[in-house]
Structure 1
Amino acid sequence: MTISTFSVDIDSVASELTTRPVGARAREELLRFLEEYPSIEIDFHYKSLTPSFADECIGQLAATIGLSDFKTRVRLTNLDEASRPLVKHVILTRCSAVRT
């Protein structure tokens, strides 16, 4: 059985990757995709993310669906090298806050 992965171009859900409001709108759109598809792949095109956007979009997405589901259903591709530690930090911070 093949699992269908839906490809998401970050530009299609976020006009810029800087603010919490844009991150929240992007997260809502990504959640809609996750309702429709078993998994999604988000292509960031090596663009830099601000901590606000990363936390609101990616960290909150992971907290909403749970770390286990996030790891199996969401794939982040072409992340800027400098953004990788930030993304890992916001995911782990948000998901640990949900557990406590």
Structure 2
Amino acid sequence: MMKFLIKISEEFEVLSSRQAGASARVRFLSLLKSSENFLVIDFECHNISPSFADESIGLLAQQLGMKEFKERVKIINASAQTKAILKHVITSRVSTKAKENSFA
């Protein structure tokens, strides 16, 4: 198993836009390409915008599914504000996917 540590401010200059969040998600998915890989995302106590959080982490959780997300992604050093935003975007993205699947 390969473990990757991403320090958010070293990898990404902007933590406040959807475009930056989408770039972050692409990077995370590339590291998770092998099913053996595990990702640790260190927020280094930086605050992020809801847009960045939704595009990067919310959509990542939606794409992986909650079970796989919890097994393969660990978030560390998130400020209280960032934790609240992440919880909200993950919950709304995962529940949106569940609703879409129930209508399929």
Does the pair score TM above 0.5? Answer: yes
Matched with 2:31 is: 33
User: In the aligned structure 2, how far is the partner of 1:12 from the partner of 1:31?
Assistant: 18
User: In the aligned structure 2, how far is the partner of 1:91 from the partner of 1:38?
Assistant: 21
Report the 3-state secondary structure (helix = DSSP H, G, I; strand = E; otherwise coil) of the residue aligned with 1:17: coil
Task: Note the 1:67-82 alignment, pairs <5 A.
Answer: 67-82=66-81
How far did residue 81 of structure 1 move? 1.4
Report the 3-state secondary structure (helix = DSSP H, G, I; strand = E; otherwise coil) of the residue aligned with 1:35: coil
User: In the aligned structure 2, how far is the partner of 1:70 from the partner of 1:79?
Assistant: 17
Contact 1:13 1:25 (8 Å CA) reproduced? no
Taking structure 2 as the reference length, the TM-score comes to 0.88
How far did residue 11 of structure 1 move? 2.5
Task: Note the 1:1-100 alignment, pairs <5 A.
Answer: 3-36=1-34, 37-100=36-99
How far did residue 85 of structure 1 move? 1.1
* 2:26 alignment partner AA: E
Contact 1:17 1:53 (8 Å CA) reproduced? yes
Runs of 5+ unmatched residues, structure 1: none
Contact 1:13 1:29 (8 Å CA) reproduced? no
How far did residue 39 of structure 1 move? 0.8
How many residues get paired?
98
Runs of 5+ unmatched residues, structure 2: 100-104
Please, which moves more after superposition, 82-91 or 19-28? Answer: 82-91
Q: Which runs of 4+ in 1 moved over 6 A?
A: none
Contact 1:18 1:50 (8 Å CA) reproduced? yes
* 1:25 alignment partner AA: S
How far did residue 18 of structure 1 move? 0.2
User: In the aligned structure 1, how far is the partner of 2:9 from the partner of 2:33?
Assistant: 20
How far did residue 16 of structure 1 move? 1.5
